[in-house]
Amino acid sequence: MTRFDLTGKTAVITGAGRGIGRALARGLAEAGAQVAVVSRSQAQLDELVQEIEQAGGRAFAIAADITESGAPEQVVQATIEQFGGLHILVNNAGMNIRSKALDVTEEEWDRITALDLKAAFFMAQAAGKVMCEQKYGRIVNIASVGGLVALRTGVVYAASKAGVIQMTRVLALEWSKFGVCVNTIAPWYFRTPLTETLLNDPAYLQDILNRTPMGRIGELEDLIGPAIFLASDAAAYISGQTIAVDGGMSVYGF
């Protein structure tokens, strides 16, 4: 066993039906964790559970809308009933609507913040109650470099992700004394179902590459290592931090 080994740990991953969440669920399972995968799509979750189990891991599907009142507590309770405990939360579920600030509607604001910030907090709170009581836990929030630097559209998404980053700091301040480490990963562009259309536009893609010192789009595999690290005992003295997994984009200058 290494300090990066997650054997014996149980993880909840939200937004696990596709994209980043799906990749992180597979990655944590490969590192030894039992994973409870959460999404609104039962079909996507069933397919993911089958993939993980065929690879020798253990997984459990929880179809839930975590923006609904009480849903985070129900997810945590179902995980404990299935696996006997909870040690890791990967707070990944999120959405974006790419409106310019002058065009944002109240409905867009409410939809995005409800999932990207409010639900993320209440998932952390539900998991944190268990983790603080048992004096151990790892919470890995998935934000965005849009929460660190200004992007040209998506003001509500950016505000929500900045909120997640600040939320991470406050939770770390409150919970680190209980052995609960709370950190954030801030990705740049990765090819997922949510970004596929944008990245298929050659001009848009080139603009992204021009702003990325490494000169490439992120691969989902690039996120698995940081997530395992922050979820493991290798990161036992790290809390309240944000790691930008962005090919250097957030330090880009002129």
For 148-185, how does the pLDDT look when each residue is reduced to its tens digit (9 = 90+)? 998 888 999 999 999 999 999 999 999 999 999 999 99
Residue 180, domain member (yes or no)? yes
Token pair listed for 70: 């009480």
Q: Which position has the token pair 């891991």?
A: 57
**What residues make up the domain containing 78?**
10-241
User: Which one from 136, 157, 189, 204 is the annotated catalytic residue?
Assistant: 157
Report the run of H or E that residue 62 belongs to, with start and end: strand 59-63
Residue at 228 is within a domain: yes
State residue 1's pLDDT score: 52
Look at residue 4 and tell me if it is in a domain. Answer: no
189 catalytic? Reply is no
Predicted confidence at residue 98, as pLDDT, reads 87
Q: Assign residue 162 the CATH number of its domain.
A: 3.40.50.720
pTM over 0.75: yes
What pLDDT is stored for residue 3 in this prediction?
A: 84
Does 248 fall in a domain? no
**Does a structural domain hold residue 253?**
no
Q: How many domains does the chain have?
A: 1
The answer to the question of residue 123 being in a domain is yes
Residue 172 is assigned to a structural domain of this protein: yes
* H/E segment holding residue 182: strand 180-187
Asked if residue 25 is part of any domain, the answer here is yes
Q: How many CB atoms are located within 10 Å of the residue 226 CB?
A: 19
Cβ neighbours for 180, distance < 8 A, ≥ 6 positions apart: 128, 131, 132, 136, 137, 138, 139, 171, 239
> Which stretches in the chain have pLDDT values below 50?
none
